[in-house]
Structure 1
């Protein structure tokens, strides 16, 4: 990096973020944890022993980079009631990554110390491949206890299965690993007490899927009879996660807790794994948390899994079918019988009617998988009737009286005969519909079977040994080629499947095939459905969203203008699609330079989503994050920060730290920090987002590459150019190969790379990059768009650096005018472009114009840039230099000294920006001495 260039501080604000694609589908209930050491937020956001890579917290972490014993802390994974869990690197005696759980400072009550030590002691008892292992215990230099655990870079069990669309049999195989781990814990005298999907992580160890049970933070010892040790638990205070809590656990009586408590929790996990729903709705659990939760769990009706799936099928969801790897009737048939009985036996309210151990539970599931008779069986009708009467004596008596009256009233009538005839007619109609649906189902199943069988070595020609190398995206591409043949006589069904395939290919980054598939899906939908059909609107919206992803903003704007009135009419589209469409409409306005319209649309969307879905639904959170992003781009920091922090906490609580939605909101939170000049905070958040994205999507996925590009840009902004350039040079070719050279995201990455090249003094390369980018943006976006104007301004800087001040002044004056028209004259980036233009006028000798311009600009900058932002210091320095050149030494020196003090405070005396300002100050002082002042 060239540290002596005098204008290093004069760069415009080049925080050019490419398009984020954060979608917020409704997934699962919130799972608040109860108990003395727990907080009121979702425990899936709390640290787990050896948990997956957690998103960075909102507040800066002081321990990052510090050493505790043989461990160097790399990142914070999460925080809980007793302490925090960090990702750490162990240097000796072996080199490896660990999860380091550290007791929170000040948490030194005897009860908490006992709990912390207890968790370490319980983990030390166990040694099983399906339980995260404890590796070391110790104390930090300030006396805080810690223990190091195996780091599990995994994904929660249900989320892992849903993302991959894993079938029922393989879900059960993974669940049996959980049973083996928990059974081992029980044999070692440990009850977990908080078993739930977020504490069951699936990791890929060299091609082998392994489930790890984590987070024994509220576990208890058991005696030889399998009963829980009361210990320090307060009687009447339930500890655990309500949605997965047994009735006896909810009652808060420690003496009633035994291994069958974990059996019940595993029953809830199995129900969720098989249906993607909870046996008792989350809303009922939520309402009962501060009431009588134990009574709800004892008396609520639990529907059999197969019946639950049948009910879900009355309002079908393509996301559900993709996640579960099948259709509703097929899944209901798989669950009916054995799996219904096994699940309901594990969920029995009375402990004595459950499986006696987790081992028995697992053995019955194994019998089902091998085709043997299972031990579980449905409760007898007499038993169910007795329990119902016991719970509802008054209602049963009243119902019996009403029933008797009805029976007497209908004797001798012919109503039954008339109704039977009507039912027969309805049945004949239903049969015709069923036949049609049956044909569609068979066609869909054949298509799905062929797609799944794509990597089957028996079906491959030439080189069957390559079957294991076929990726999901390859199977999808082959499936696209078979759409016409598979659904030749049903364009409506072909359109539905095409929309699903096209959307998936788009999200996997295969834009060319996604476009071909969606264009055909739209054509089919227009043939098969009326203009006001939801299925036709869905196909057309998916194609419009793809155009947004490809940077075709003008075409996309025209499409949205045509489609949004139909969406506003309430045609019943999936909530996720509606939220993404409304967010994309905002992004289009912003990309086309109309930031005020973008803010207005974003605000309207938040009001609309809040009215429809409450104050904390997934779509509401997405709209809140979108509005925060737009406000941040306008420099309205206070409201933007409040909104983005609220959105981040909401998605973190709802989904857990590794979910793509959380990664997306964390990235937006980092965007805002970068725009405010908080580069250390922004870099940490971007880096955490990039690492999580790499874990979830893979190293070369577009989302992962975008996050790493953000890291590189923030390194540049913080003056760490030598680290930024190699990262840009790794990311840009990979993204260009998948998206194409004209993609706006690629051009943004290249623009930021050019800035880093300029900062490193590689001016010829920087000018070559920017000239090409400008021509591409002008051709694709037009000359008046903000990104085009911004590129022109950056190119002017490099031209000036190379000595052509006159050409640079012309370029920059055009950029200031165009950018001011697009985003307003008080936009932070317009202000910085104007500052650079005035510095050009100053260096060309037009001091009167420059000084008058700075006199107007500085108050606007103080009003619209955050207090302490280094760009404000840069403007002060530039103004001071102009005043000094005009002989107004006192005023000029005061401004430059004020600027220098602020830059040294933020970046240190050796930072190139500080050095550049110090050189300006020395030059002014020399001029003053020559002038005799």
Structure 2
């Protein structure tokens, strides 16, 4: 608080104490007017005076003593002010720096002209010269004399003035309170941490010299113009392990409520943890710009109750900025909350521990404030060595799942508590050993050289070698490692690990056990990865059947299997079935309040993607946005779920004709994928392909070709030139060739793509519809109408079967078939097909979607060929209006429509 503010507070306090107590609130409100900060300070100081234990225990005696002291101070004001201009030793007092509960601090300058030197001189007030205060004043002299640290204001001298005032001469600090400094210079979180580390270093020095400050607050921690911290005011400090009844005797307690620890409120033993509590409050204030507790307009009793009983919210929950939330969530939240725990023995016991955690945070190492779990320690390892490691997180999450299972077992089977606890610890230690530099299975590993496969294969072999005689741990480890190996494409070993885990689980737990069901789920995920969807479905159905038998058909245990089964159906293009299963999973998680977690939001994003393919664009967007917001807040760095959801948003906006918005999300997704997996990962293929299609629609041909060719090169190098994924890339490039008029080249590439598809799939596979549609499209442009018509009829049959007769994809198919029939001059059949397509377009696409423009263009052409020119012009005009909302004015589609309108008008004019 500034000098002027403090004087105003004391003036108001002086005035209010002259009034009856029932008039205090109204008077304070009148004097403070709209100054909320002033009102808070006055109210808190008044409460501290009148509601302290001495006041409550014996109000009449205490009040009399208080007014006597107050009167002495008022009588001495003139005398003390007269000290300005007087000499203390070699120094001349120039001005008042501040006033506290025991004395006044002056700025003084050396007046012997030998050199310029400013100091701070603290002089005890006459009215406060009680025996206990004199004792405290002398104590401060003693304490400061024993402390020599750059972060603590230095003691130069002390004694008694000629007028009988006790004084000490200290280092003058030309600075401002640490919180004001951070606000004024808008310091970053990292800069605040570095500043706070200076505070901890100074407090550590005091503690090492057996000194506890007991009143740490921003006003006692100044930052000078060079950014150096200085701690002031050791006036109520306590020498550690020294008993001093005078400092805790009945009377006004010497503390600042906002920063007071529970033990200070209860007046129990004060330790170094007391100072660290105050520092935790200050650190919270610096990071969040707020206090962990709201003490506004409440009594001292209520303040004390909050300090003793109420748990603080985390710093991240006290800020509005999403970026700042992400920065604080996790380590910094944990560090702050550990420092301000109610129980002193649960806080940091020494400043060095606090410092170590902040240093570990800076280096990306684990901090002691977080639970010392495999999940957490591994997460920090992955952040330091992110390249290639992100996908192995599944192992660690599964281990945490095991720990949760153990906890449940302990609660259910109390007789096995010790055994289960030991088993959980054994699993944890086993996993940590996988990261040990001495592991013989990872000879090249020295903390940063191991690949994901190195770590997982080492774990697999260690499990086989060391845990074969411990079936429970053996099953759990192989199941977790096998699941993770499939995530990093080590499919052969993944299958071996999961199969061994399943066989041992059936033998040990039984065929209808929870453990066996969970391994069936992992095997289902494995078979998804290798595109063996029938086997994937077989295993997930077994998992679901087992869990229904064990728990019933409304158990929360079914939520995850339903989600896995839904993904299986999605990958087979059974979108309606997938949506129903995702909704079942969603319903169970909501019913059992299991929605505030990553698993729920991953399922939500998958549901959104399913709804996107069903043409339910509004629902898809809603679920994507909710999932993406959660992922951004949850993960501290780039993460696959963030990248995937951004890609899905890009696909959504591409399909809803918001191409610039799509471009933005797709480029962000691509950047995230490259950060996570490097420039040659299979994860980039879909982003390259969709960017190419999006730029094609925007007629940005150079960009379209660039990304299409990147996609082809990538998929060929990873999967080979006979894979379906490579065929998709070739198909994508052919679309661009066709759009640029290179019809024969496009036809050749479509045929190449379709041949690969047919060699890998049976004739009923819905994925065949994509290359068949595109080949039919280019055959139409080449005048091969019969072949084109045959292909499009097959496509319509496939899409109706998998998507339903009213799906937007079926609308596109009908539009293309109508166009083929029109070019073949089968106008009546064409009109019939367009009539079927029209309501699908109108019901499923936004009114200004470019696809509706294409439909209007085609229907206008049909009416033109039928010489129904008035209707034709109407549809051409509609097409132009929509195209202009999506493309530049020189787009070929716009120019073509305008040329037909011009031709129609000329025909009409000639008539």
Distance in 2 between residues matched to 1:800 and 1:286, nearest whole Å: 72
Is the contact made by 2:518 and 2:543 (CA closer than 8 Å) also made in structure 1? no
Cα shift at 1:116: 14
The alpha carbon displacement at 1:739 in A equals 5.2
Q: For residue 532 of structure 1, what is the aligned residue in structure 2?
A: 512
Match of 1:652 among 604, 627, 632: 632
Q: CA deviation at 1:900?
A: 1.4
The one of 487, 492, 499 aligned to 1:507: 487
RMSD: 5.2
Number of the residue aligned with 1:685: 665
- 1:362 paired residue among 338, 341, 355: 355
In the other structure, the counterpart of 1:336 is none
Q: Contact conserved, 1:534 with 1:571, CA < 8 A, in 2?
A: no
User: How many Å apart are 1:874 and its aligned residue?
Assistant: 0.5
Distance of 1:756 and 1:247 partners within structure 2: 70
Question: Following the alignment from structure 1 to structure 2, what is the Cα–Cα distance between the partners of residues 652 and 531?
Answer: 40
Counterpart in 1 of 2:197?
Answer: 183
Q: Does 1:884 align with 2:898?
A: no
Conservation of the 8 A alpha-carbon contact between 1:773 and 1:791: yes
Instruction: Tell me the residue number matched to 1:612.
Output: 592
- Partners of 1:920 and 1:879 lie apart in 2 by 13
Partner Cα distance (2:711, 2:257) in 1: 52
Q: CA offset at residue 736 of structure 1?
A: 4.9
Matched, 1:635 2:594: no
Measure the CA separation in 2 of the matches of 1:442 and 1:117: 46
Q: In 2 relative to 1, CA 453–914 (structure 1 residues): closer, same or farther, beyond 3 Å?
A: farther
Answer whether contact 1:879 1:892 (CA < 8 A) is retained.
yes
Match for 2:678 among 698, 709, 733?
698
Kindly indicate whether the alpha-carbon contact (under 8 Å) linking 2:434 and 2:455 is maintained by their aligned counterparts in 1: no
| 1:837 corresponds to which of 808, 817, 838 | 817
Deviation at 1:712, TM superposition (A): 3.3
Q: Deviation per CA, 1:701-728, whole angstroms, max 9, x where unpaired? A: 4434444444333333333232122223
**Aligned CA distance change for structure 1 residues 442 and 903 (closer, same or farther; 3 Å):** closer
Q: State yes or no: 1:729 paired with 2:745.
A: no
Tell me whether 802-811 or 895-904 shows the greater mean CA deviation: 802-811
Is the 1:263–1:358 Cα contact (8 Å) retained in structure 2?
no
- Rounded to whole Å, the distance in 1 between the matches of 2:453 and 2:871 is 64
* 2:258 aligned to which of 245, 248, 254: 248
Distance 1:500 1:685, change over 3 A: same
Counterpart for residue 713 of structure 1: 693
Which residues of 2 match residues 341-356 of structure 1 at below 5 A? 346-347=339-340
Which moves more between the two structures, 563-572 or 910-919? 563-572
- CA distance in structure 2 between the aligned counterparts of 1:348 and 1:119, rounded to whole angstroms: 25
Alignment of 1:432-831 (within 5 A): 449=436, 452=439, 454-456=441-443, 469-480=449-460, 483-490=463-470, 492-568=472-548, 581-613=561-593, 616-655=596-635, 658-738=638-718, 747-831=727-811
Change (3 A) 1:840 1:362: same
Q: For each residue in 1:635-666, what CA deviation from the matched residue of structure 2 results, as whole angstroms up to 9, or x when unmatched?
A: 22333333333333344344457343333333
Identify if the C-alpha distance between structure 1 residues 476 and 187 changes in structure 2 by more than 3 Å, giving closer, same or farther: closer
Matched with 2:288 is none
| Paired residues of 2:812 and 2:837 also in contact (CA < 8 A) | no
Give the stretch that moved more between structures: 482-491 or 543-552: 482-491
Distance verdict in 2 for CA 1:772–1:695, change over 3 Å: same
Tell me the distance in 1 between the aligned counterparts of 2:724 and 2:644: 18
Cα distance in 2 for residues equivalent to 1:290 and 1:534: 55
Establish whether residue 912 from structure 1 lines up as the match of residue 892 from structure 2.
yes
- SS at the partner of 2:825? coil
Q: CA deviation at 1:781?
A: 4.5
Distance of 1:849 and 1:427 partners within structure 2: 76
1:900 aligns with 880
Tell me if 1:859 matches 2:839: yes
Which secondary structure does the structure 1 equivalent of 2:512 belong to? coil
* 1:187 positional shift: 9.6
| Change in CA separation of 1:797 and 1:529 when aligned onto 2, cut-off 3 Å | same
Q: Deviations over 1:808-853 (max 9, x none)?
A: 1211122122212221222111111111111111111111111232
Separation of aligned partners in 2, 1:677 and 1:665: 18
Give, in whole Å, the separation in 2 of the partners of 1:296 and 1:250.
11
- Compare 348-357 and 741-750 and name the one that shifted more: 348-357
Relative to structure 1, the CA distance from residue 838 to residue 707 in structure 2 (aligned partners, 3 Å threshold; closer, same or farther) is same
Aligned residues of 2:685 and 2:715 also touching (Cα < 8 A):
yes
Q: Deviations over 1:223-252 (max 9, x none)?
A: 775489xxxxxxxxxxxxxxxxx993799x
Cα separation, partners in 2 of 1:702 and 1:604, compared to 1, 3 Å: same
CA contact (8 A) 1:492 1:524 kept: no
Shift in CA distance, 542/745, structure 1 to aligned 2, threshold 3 Å: farther
What is the rounded CA distance, in whole Å, between the counterparts of 1:298 and 1:866 in structure 2? 58
Shift of 1:732: 4.0
1:344-364 Cα deviation digits (max 9, x unpaired): 984465999987996684279
- Mapping 1:88-127, distance limit 5 Å: 122=185
CA distance, structure 2, for counterparts of residue 681 and residue 433 of structure 1: 52
Deviations 1:251-272 (A, max 9, x none): 9xxxxxx996784279999xxx
Q: d(CA) in 2 for partners of 1:289 and 1:586?
A: 51
Partner of 1:264: 280
Distance 1:649 1:365 in 2: 28
> Which residue number in structure 2 is paired with residue 64 of structure 1?
none
- Structure 1 residue 222: Cα displacement: 5.2
Q: How does 1:14-93 map to 2 (within 5 A)?
A: none
Asked if the contact 1:593–1:785 (Cα under 8 Å) also holds between the matched residues in 2, the reply is: no
Q: Is the 8 A contact 2:199 2:231 kept in 1?
A: no
Q: Distance in 2 between matches of 1:739 and 1:853?
A: 40
Structure 1, 530-539 or 837-846: larger mean CA deviation: 530-539
- Aligned to 1:613, the other structure's residue is in SS state coil
* Counterpart-to-counterpart distance in 2, 1:537 and 1:505: 19
| Maintained 8 Å contact 2:502/2:520 | yes
Higher relative helix content? 2
CA 1:909/1:428 → structure 2, altered by over 3 Å: closer, same or farther? closer
1:872 Cα offset (Å):
0.5
Residue aligning to 2:309: 299
Task: List per-residue Cα deviations over 1:432-472 (Å, max 9, x = no partner).
Answer: 88998999888777776588555545x9xxxxxx9975423
Change (3 A) 1:437 1:661: closer
Unpaired segments ≥5 residues, structure 1: 1-35, 37-114, 133-177, 190-219, 229-245, 252-257, 270-284, 303-322, 325-339, 368-375, 377-425, 460-465
**Which has the larger displacement, 883-892 or 432-441?**
432-441
Between the aligned partners of 1:511 and 1:365, the Cα distance in structure 2 is 41
Question: Is the contact made by 1:550 and 1:744 (CA closer than 8 Å) also made in structure 2?
Answer: no
Matches within 5 A, 1:289-328: 298-299=308-309
The TM-score, its normalising length taken from structure 2, stands at 0.56
Instruction: Give the aligned length.
Output: 600
Structure 2 gap ranges (5+): 1-35, 37-177, 204-220, 234-255, 262-273, 286-291, 313-329, 361-368, 370-412
Greater Rg, structure 1 or structure 2?
Answer: 2
Q: Deviations over 1:362-413 (max 9, x none)?
A: 279999xxxxxxxx9xxxxxxxxxxxxxxxxxxxxxxxxxxxxxxxxxxxxx
CA deviation profile, 1:749-793 (whole Å, cap 9, x unmatched): 443333233324444443344334334434544333432123211
Work out the CA distance in 2 between the residues paired with 1:713 and 1:266: 53
User: For residues 76-98 of structure 1, what are the alpha-carbon distances to aligned partners after superposition, in whole Å with 9 as ceiling and x for unaligned?
Assistant: xxxxxxxxxxxxxxxxxxxxxxx
TM-score (norm 1): 0.55
Is the CA contact (8 Å cut-off) linking 1:451 and 1:476 kept in structure 2?
no
| Residues 605-648 of structure 1, C-alpha deviations (whole Å, 9 max, x = no match) | 22111112255444443343333322222222333333333333
